[in-house]
Amino acid sequence: MRTTLIVGGARSGKSRRALELAGHLPAERVFIATAERSDAEMAARIERHRRDRGPEFATVEAPIDLVEALETASGPDRVVIVDCLTLWLGNLMHYERDVDAHSAALVAFLKTAPGPVILVSNEVGTGLVPTAYLGRAFRDAQGELNQAVAAVCECVEFMVAGFPMVVKPR
């Protein structure tokens, strides 16, 4: 397994699934957290995730420069988890970065990743149409990012109630 995308709703077990998959690999472990410590709620979530995954993971925080972090961290003897693309996308849009360019760079990296990478992302498109323009723009961008990443990943899973459903079989 080289590259895996885990998609799902909030609290559907995506992060735990990523840790489980990483645990099957005989490799050093790096966790790239894309969350920004923007408020107390988010900081608490970051710390809960850090506790959950234990000390065997080196943690890198990359709210914006995900691809650079991946280039540094990824290697044949290391499994890298990216958690998650949704927060990364939110940060890119919040700080008005070029989403298409960052997305293309991520896709290019994944096509030739030197070691296993497991990416976590949210499905955000199956509620009602958001009333706010920004909500619709984010929803569209997230759907397009998920499609672009899924297209180049070797395996895609969709999480429901903690269990993976196979979307793109390895």
Could you give the residue numbers annotated as active site? Answer: 49
Does position 130 interact with a second copy (CB under 8 A)? The reply is yes
Nearest distance, CB of residue 129 and a second copy, angstroms: 8
How far does the chain reach from its first CA to its final CA, in angstroms?
Answer: 7
Strands 155-160 and 163-168: antiparallel
Q: Which of 56, 68, 162, 170 binds a second copy (CB under 8 A)?
A: 162
Tokens read off for 132: 């706010």
What distances in angstroms separate CA 123 from CA 20, 26, 68, 118, one per listed residue?
20, 30, 25, 16
- Helix H or strand E segment including 168: strand 163-168
Per CB under 8 A, the list member of 2, 9, 79, 88 interacting with a second copy is 9
Residues 62-121 that bind a second copy (CB under 8 A): 121
**To the nearest whole angstrom, how small is the minimum distance from the Cβ of residue 1 to a second copy?**
17
* Residue 35 in contact with a second copy, rule: CB under 8 A: no
Told to check if 40 binds a second copy by CB under 8 A, we report no
Query: Which residues have CB under 8 Å from 18's CB, separation 6+?
Result: 6, 81, 83, 118, 120
Q: Is 11 exposed, middle or buried (0-12, 13-18, 19+ CB in 10 A)?
A: exposed
Q: Which is nearer to a second copy, 52 or 77 (CB)?
A: 52
List of residues contacting a second copy (CB under 8 A): 5, 7-13, 41, 121-130, 133, 135-136, 138-140, 142-144, 146-147, 149-151, 156, 158, 160-163, 165, 167-168
